[in-house]
A and B are shown apart, each in its own frame.
Chain A
């Protein structure tokens, strides 16, 4: 099958794999990603255009899955240990978007504006401010950040993006609801990714009760 040269919808998942996520929470995240993929595979638009990448962070950050088309995406093995290098993750995210996402030129079809979902359950342990300011100012994509559980700090996330939500806890059911909402957001945003004025805000579906918007 020849490479798809059309417009892709790039989706980046940036996931906290620090020690506090060990056990049930990280397993629930893994299941959540799996469910997200399965859900997207039921959406014809996602099947044709969605490309996903996973960046994980603990004491460091790595792009465990580069931007890959939905049909070929295999959910990653996620282990949890170490601290919370959110700054490195953001920096890596910026680099990944720069490298992987195609811009519109007279001769090349640009991708749709990337969708980014960041999830953390704690406080960043590295210096994250510069990276946060950088990515916010560049308006590289529509970033949705999630502060998961009681130990999560929403403030750093607020510096990265306007759209921040909070999860009450890290229970499997809560995380399941979160990933379902991520999937719905992708599908809804896809509807409005066609033809938006450059600065138009992305319209997201209302979050379920376990997820509250952080104003």
Chain B
């Protein structure tokens, strides 16, 4: 009969046995559970075997690092462990040394080590918990009313008070499951399932920037010096793993600006296969922000006190998608103009450099003379204006995009709303660019404009390098916001201990102590010129939600709990939001994701 032990208690038991902290305060309780486990000798032996083997892999990684001289990036304390082992062997020369030599010899001769001679024993493992977000008996919790269907207007309607957090399911049983394969050689307890498909750290190389004309900086991180009242605006872009490996440029760019009450954001992604796409991205962003700031400086939004008035103004005509409200129409026209001007700027950039030997020399013979295609880039624009509706502070946002990437709004109540859709072909990477034909025509752009009104926590604008890792936006945009918050990228005011304790009491991390001990992240490698490579600890809102035993959606609806995630171990380095954003963008790992990454965040100072 399987032993009933909670996963957390099992960890406590082993930690207690190893003499480590985190064994829990209630020693008698832990000791009793240990005795219970020992009542099933077969299971007990298997469990101990598996835990010891797994922990032994940590030592194996340390020894490997010592022998090869290549530090295991995921395992920062490797040298101390391997030194300890060596000391132990030295101190016990007569007893240990011959055994050590024998083991090494056997390894060379290809003999199976004694512990693996028999097939891997079944592992006693807790049943994985699925975050349900809801107590089974409580029934469906009320959700905010759905948004009105017609494309492309979006009018967010304020919803009721979010429901209280559900309490957790009954504790799981330990149950014997099918035998597991021996752990992979580079097994690291910090590596999540998701990272299992990635190559060992040293495979991705770092090469500096090339000596091409118009070198762009490898990365950038900036904040708006004078953001609109009550808001912060910051952004960062980084060179993707692929470009670092090949020693090519970062092709992304971002700009933002303020014109009276209007905040203007532009983000662009130069096409990887074209030589000067970074220049296209840069001039497109700079021009778009400049033009929009100038145009919108002349546009005042009408005062509309009710949701109904706004809904009427945001209605769009059927064929031309023209907004009903005259002022909103003006904003729409300003967006069109900005896209056209951005394209003009790219054209000019091409003309200015056309025929120049320095540039032509960078191209293979079959791509000369310099064509405008070499400046291909996407472009995402977003404008924001604070408004008062029903006596509350709301935001009016209009977004427009050519190509891929994503703009989104995070609603005050934690729901996430993509603003627009990416251009894409049937295969990956096939997208449209500013320089593709027809992308500045009104009929095309009209379908790419998206208006939003509602109380927001944040607006985010990003290139595909980030958007693709939170795909589809309709399901994962909220998780992106969650990730930014738990890593404390936006400056937030963390609730007090008592408030947190009350909010988390019904969850899988029911006490402040457990929360503060919970590991909700993974170690990520920093790929720069340094050797050995540094790592940073990056938290995941998905991991956090799982430990809390709630869904990510529920987590986002409970800001106190979400903000409490910043209190888990590990702090992202960086004195400012934009620095921390840059570190996060640079280091987070998703298999198959190695493009340049750019993200601009505009968020309310007081969250939510």
Contacts and interface: CB of A to CB of B under 8 A. Distances in A.
Contacts of B357: none
Contacts of B594: 45, 48
Given A112-B427, A197-B430, A1 B193 contact: yes
Interface string B406-427: 0000000000000001001111
A198 B591 contact: no
Interface stretch (B143-151, B170-178, B194-202): B194-202
Contact of A112 (B246, B373, B429): B429
Contacts of B426: 103-104, 110
A191 B272 contact: yes
Contact of B272 (A110, A111, A113, A192): A192
Given A111-B427, A191-B272, 9 more contacts: A45-B594, A104-B426, A106-B474, A112-B428, A193-B429, A195-B272, A196-B272, A197-B373, A198-B430
A20 interface: no
23 contacts: A4-B197, A6-B592, A7-B429, A44-B204, A44-B205, A44-B241, A45-B242, A48-B594, A71-B197, A104-B428, A107-B472, A109-B471, A110-B428, A191-B242, A191-B273, A192-B272, A194-B272, A194-B429, A195-B464, A196-B429, A197-B432, A197-B433, A203-B273
A69 B197 CA distance: 10
Nearest to A49: B592
B406 to A, nearest CB: 12
Interface string B244-276: 011000000000000000000000010111000
A94 to B, nearest CB: 15
Given A1-B193, A48-B199, A197 B590 contact: no
Interface in B467-490: 468, 471-472, 474
Contacts of A42: 203
Given A47-B203, A107-B472, A196-B429, A1 B272 contact: no
B193 A197 contact: no
B595 interface: yes
A2 interface: yes
Most buried by A among B198, B432, B594: B594
A1 B196 contact: yes
Contacts of A47: 198-199, 203
Interface in A65-81: 69, 71
Contact of A203 (B245, B364, B373): B364
Interface in B324-382: 364, 373, 376
A6 B590 contact: yes
Contacts of B194: 2
Interface in B394-453: 421, 424-433, 436
Interface in B555-607: 590-595
Contacts of A195: 269, 271-273, 429, 431, 464
Nearest to B198: A48
B273 A192 contact: yes
Contacts of B205: 44
Contacts of B424: 104, 110
A14 B373 CA distance: 33
A106 B421 contact: yes
Contact of B197 (A48, A103, A106, A109): A48
A196 B199 contact: no
B468 A109 contact: yes
Interface residues of B, number: 43
Contacts of A109: 428, 468, 471
B222 to A, nearest CB: 25
Most buried by B among A4, A104, A194: A194
B591 A48 contact: yes
Contacts of B432: 197
Interface string A2-27: 10101110000000000000000000
Contacts of B421: 106
10 closest A-B pairs (Cβ-Cβ)? A6-B592, A192-B273, A44-B203, A194-B272, A113-B427, A7-B428, A47-B199, A195-B271, A198-B430, A112-B428
Contacts of A191: 242, 246, 272-273
Interface string B300-328: 00000000000000000000000000000
Contacts of A103: 426-427
Contact residues of B: prevailing secondary structure: loop
A200 B433 CA distance: 13
Nearest to B378: A195
Contacts of B433: 197
Contacts of A198: 425, 427, 430
A112 B198 CA distance: 18
Most buried by A among B204, B205, B592, B593: B592
A114 to B, nearest CB: 8
Interface in A166-215: 191-198, 200, 203
Contacts of A200: 273
Contacts of A6: 590-593
Contacts of B593: 6
A106 B418 CA distance: 12
A111 B426 CA distance: 9
Contacts of A196: 271-273, 429-430
A103 B421 CA distance: 17
B241 A193 contact: no
Nearest to A104: B424
A49 B593 CA distance: 9
A194 B273 contact: yes
A42 to B, nearest CB: 8
A4 B591 contact: yes
B376 A197 contact: yes
Interface string A41-57: 01011011100000000
Given A110-B426, A112-B428, A4 B592 contact: yes
Contacts of B429: 7, 112-113, 193-196
A85 B204 CA distance: 42
A7 B592 contact: yes
Contacts of A193: 428-429
Contacts of A111: 427-428
A192 B464 CA distance: 15
A211 B233 CA distance: 55
Contact of A106 (B193, B199, B472): B472
Nearest to A191: B246
A128 to B, nearest CB: 26
Contacts of A106: 421, 472, 474
Nearest to B464: A195
Nearest to B436: A197
Contacts of A104: 424-428, 430
Interface string B50-94: 000000000000000000000000000000000000000000000
A40 to B, nearest CB: 11
A104 B472 CA distance: 11
Nearest to B594: A45
Most buried by B among A42, A104, A111, A192: A104
Contacts of A44: 199, 203-205, 241, 245
Interface string B185-211: 000000001101111000111000000
A103 B425 CA distance: 9
A198 B423 CA distance: 12
A106 to B, nearest CB: 6
